[in-house]
Amino acid sequence: MASYVTAQQLILRVRQRTNLENATTFIPDSEILDCLNGSLANEVYDLLRQSVGDNYYRQKFTFHTSQGVYNYLLPSDLLTDISVDVWFGGQFPYSARRYAEADRNVLRGVPFGWGPAYPLFYQLQGSGVNASISLVCGTPIAGVQVDLNYVPVCPTLVNMNDVFDDINGWSEIAVLDAGVKVCIKDGSFDTATFLEQRKATLVAKVRAMGPQRHAGEPECVNMIAGRVEPGDGWYD
């Protein structure tokens, strides 16, 4: 269950941790919010990706191919890809595989077709509004659904009522980190050291508990040469 906290609440918590509740002229809310956004992205978001896994923030983007078109625009909030599923029809999708830059021209020249019996490779290119995906091997046909499973960038808090998922109270890590930045500006180095130590304790706790999100090891599938397995789309 999500537990949202507003930007205004997070700013107040930073002021409380640093004893600067009334210092709104010295350090305005906008400056603290800027510190918080950096801390949420670098100290909380990336920590959870590293300790729990990219699937924690997994999202899906769907598009359909056009005849002879190899490149397609992707959402501007793309951070990293997880997997690419291609639906040629039927009950199961087929997994596209990422190709190396050195192989891009070789793959285009191989006389593969476009369908479940042939391999399909992809590569992400660009970033932000210019983020795109390149599909190679065979000439794309129209109307094929492609699902990109990806990790979006950490959301940026802009307005005071914007919210961040507090998860299990882990936004406190960002609050403490932002508090350290505020204390450095204020010259309160002893308080900054204390907050940094407190943050390190919470980070260690998340790293230790992160793997507990999953029960046991993931199941692996062994491919058998000469057989077409559901979800793979081709064989050796």
Is 128 exposed, middle or buried, given 0-12, 13-18 or 19+ CB atoms closer than 10 A?
exposed
More confident residue, 57 or 228: 57
Measure CA of the first residue to CA of the last residue in the chain; give whole Å: 44
Note the pLDDT of residue 73. Answer: 95
Is 135 exposed, middle or buried, given 0-12, 13-18 or 19+ CB atoms closer than 10 A?
buried
Note the pLDDT of residue 103. Answer: 79
What's the rounded Cα separation, in Å, for the pair 140 and 119?
Answer: 12
CA dihedral for 189, 192, 198, 199, sign (positive or negative): negative
Q: Enumerate residues 6+ apart whose C-beta is below 8 A from 96.
A: 84, 85, 86, 120, 121, 122, 135, 146
Note the pLDDT of residue 218. Answer: 57
Distances (CA, A) of 70 to 63, 103, 105, 109, 159: 13, 15, 13, 14, 39
What's the rounded Cα separation, in Å, for the pair 39 and 195?
Answer: 13
Q: Which of 49-53, 104-108, 163-167 has the lowest mean pLDDT?
A: 104-108
Average of pLDDT values for 198-218?
Answer: 77
63 closest CA partner among 132, 11, 120, 136: 132
Note the pLDDT of residue 231. Answer: 46
User: What are 174-200's pLDDT values in tens digits?
Assistant: 999 999 999 999 999 999 999 999 999
Note the pLDDT of residue 236. Answer: 40
> Is the pLDDT score of 107 beyond 60?
yes
| Token duo for residue 102 | 């050195």
More confident residue, 62 or 170: 62
Q: Which of 106-110, 133-137, 220-224 has the lowest mean pLDDT?
A: 220-224
> Is the pLDDT score of 227 beyond 50?
no
> Is the pLDDT score of 47 beyond 80?
yes
User: What are 140-159's pLDDT values in tens digits?
Assistant: 889 999 999 999 999 999 99
> Is the pLDDT score of 207 beyond 80?
yes
Distances (CA, A) of 187 to 25, 175, 180, 182: 16, 18, 10, 9
> Is the pLDDT score of 214 beyond 70?
no
* Single pTM value for the model: 0.80
> Is the pLDDT score of 234 beyond 50?
no
